[in-house]
Structure formats: C-alpha cells, structure tokens
Amino acid sequence: MFFPPPQFERKEEKLEREGRAKMICADCSVRQPCLDYAVSIREPHGIWGGLNESERRQLLASDLS
C-alpha cells in the first residue's frame, strides 16, 4: 500500500491506498527519520514518512524558498 501497484490505478483507488498508508505512518515511531531519508535522496515513489511524492516535492520547494 506504500507504493503504487504495477497495473493502472484509478485516482479514487490511489487516494484510498495512500490514505491507508498515511494512517499507518501517523502512529509510526520512525515517521520523521523515514521522511527525512526520502527527502534527502529525493525518492520519487511511494509514501514515506506520511507524505506522497507530490507532498515531498512541495516540502522541498518550500525549504528552498
């Protein structure tokens, strides 16, 4: 659920899958280190530290401003 499936995924399915993953991340004790790692390597896929790809890009953009 943290990464997209190999086959086509509808927008509603993606949002549901990401929501389930983010719920797990919300209670995770290593959420911040996970997010820090994904941001540091500019991971282009999946849910890391409770954020998806576009949310991590926004975070990086705001840090650069």
- Interval 12-33: pLDDT, tens: 999 999 999 999 999 999 999 9
Q: Ramachandran region of residue 47, left (φ > 0), alpha (ψ -120 to 50) or beta?
A: beta
Quick check: is 57 in a domain?
yes
Residue 65 has pLDDT above 70, yes or no: no
pLDDT value at residue 63: 75
Identify whether the C-beta of residue 20 lies closer than 8 Å to the C-beta of residue 37.
Answer: no
Number of folded domains in the chain? 1
Range of the domain at 26: 11-64
Quick check: is 51 in a domain?
yes
Quick check: is 5 in a domain?
no
Quick check: is 20 in a domain?
yes
User: What pTM, to 2 d.p., does this model score?
Assistant: 0.89
Quick check: is 4 in a domain?
no
Quick check: is 2 in a domain?
no
